[in-house]
Amino acid sequence: MITIRILDMLSYCKKQFVLGREDGWKNSIVFAFLCWLFGMTISGCLILVFALSKVGLGLVYSVIAISLGMIISVLAFAFKSVRCTGLLFLLCCGMKEGRKVLIAIGTSIVVFNNVKNILKNLKVLADSIVCNLEAKRALINAISSEFYKSGLYFIYQNAKGYFFNPLNDIVRLTDNFQCNVQISDDKLKNVLNETEQQIEELSSSLSTQLDIIAIVGRIAFLLIGISVILIGAVLFCKQFLSKDNVNYNNVYITTRFKAYDESRRRQHALCVLPLNKTEQDVYITIPSLKMSRKQKQKMVQFLIPVMTYTFIWTLISILDFMLYWLIYTISKNLQSLRPVEVPVTLTYTHLQIDILTPRRNDDIYRNQLHINLFEPQCTPVPELSLSATWIPLAILISVLLFLGLISAFLIQIKLLVITAFYPDKDLERATYLHNKIQEERALLSPPSYTGEVRKIISQVDFWFPIITRKHLIRKR
């Protein structure tokens, strides 16, 4: 009983929404509520599109969606064409027009997230290289100065005993030795500063441009997508209602077509139902959950672009992940490297004269340099944007796959909706399709010709004339 009541209520609501305002305050209230619910449904779809396209879920966009829904509710209360077009608009969101919009939104998400993250990781890598060069420049200054000062002081100490104070036992001389080392690295420093500044400017410029393109692109995709869906719904309505275009998408056997064929059967006129196997592949009976071969082909055609773009999105995400993994692996391996120990040897050779006999002496100065191949403070830290990309993409792909599976049924619902609003046009199309099927049957399989052929084939006299002749003679 509950199920029957629910079905009766749904049938009553459908009748009120299709026929419009009727006499009685109860019918008017129900019709107004249905129009309001219809407008709020469109508002909810817009808010969902705002969320998926990352345009925003702020107060401004919510007010825009709700205001647009209220305007549609008022127009739907006044005009039947608005109600029909609005329902077709919602159905088109799940068909080819909606597929294009969802694919455009998915492409924008991949471009504005993964591509931006790839550029950001490249900047991190470039900054790390510049940082390491800057650290090496400072290290060269420090190590070189200390090494040369130590080496020169070593030479001075050895030379002072042999040359500057030969009478060390008699006279003691004092001296003040100072060593100042100056390394000119202004060119290298300027080059590094210019490189770092150029990288920063380029990164800032690209980031700003991508942000601007992201905002403008998402809004443009949204507006263009809604316009494409709306234009598709209006064109379908216009082509369906055109006086000279009864052949447009006229391959569906509707309930009114069945009623028309049954009326002709009662009048003992030619009827076409039931269809043969060849006709069942061409003409589709609706509403029906069974899909014909043609409908399955259309479903595959719907899913092919989805699979293609999913592969492209996956490829771009893999490139982003590979760059992240490469930088992360290099930085991890660089951190585990030990400093390189470089032994430095300085040999000081001099002649020493003992009792007028020169003697060659070699004094050796040894030191050791510790050099890091990569400075720890310059280790690159990459970022990964797979979660920010693939959470909305997973939702989009799931919606697209679901729409692909029900695309054949959405076409049926689309046709049933417009025939409910315009039954006269549906009867005209049913009459045209009925006559068309009759003409095709008359051309392809004439009954008289087929009957004559079957009659000839079934005659034994035609195939065995001698045997049948002898049998007749003996019988006589």
Under 8 Å between Cβ of 73 and 18? no
pLDDT at 448: 46
Alpha-carbon radius of gyration of the chain: 44
| Nearest to 342, CA basis, from 81, 147, 97, 128 | 147
Phi, psi dihedral angles at 356 (to 5 degrees)? 60, 20
pLDDT at 181: 57
Strands 340-354, 284-285: pairing kind: unpaired
What string of pLDDT tens digits covers the 476 residues of the chain? 677 777 778 777 877 778 776 667 777 888 888 888 888 888 888 877 777 666 555 677 778 888 888 888 888 888 888 888 888 888 887 787 778 878 888 887 887 788 888 888 888 888 787 777 777 766 666 555 566 666 666 666 666 655 555 555 555 656 666 666 555 556 656 766 777 677 677 767 766 776 777 677 777 777 787 888 888 888 888 888 887 777 787 888 888 888 888 888 888 888 888 888 888 778 888 877 777 777 788 888 888 988 999 999 889 888 888 888 888 888 887 777 777 666 766 666 665 555 555 666 666 666 666 666 677 777 788 888 777 788 888 888 888 888 888 888 888 888 888 888 888 888 888 888 888 888 888 887 554 444 445 545 555 555 555 555 555 455 55
**pLDDT value of position 311:** 92
Task: Collect contacts of 184-193 with beta carbons under 8 A, ≥24 apart.
Answer: 185/137, 185/140, 185/141, 188/137, 189/137, 192/130, 192/133, 192/134, 192/137
- pTM greater than 0.75 (yes/no): no
CA distance 359 to 349: 11
Return d(Cα 376, Cα 476) in angstroms, integer: 121
> CB count, 10 Å around CB of 210?
18
pLDDT of residue 41: 86
Q: Which amino acid is at 244?
A: D
Of 306, 285, 247, 257, which Cα lies nearest the Cα of 408? 285
The dihedral over CA atoms of 228, 411, 256, 447, expressed in degrees to the nearest 10, equals 120
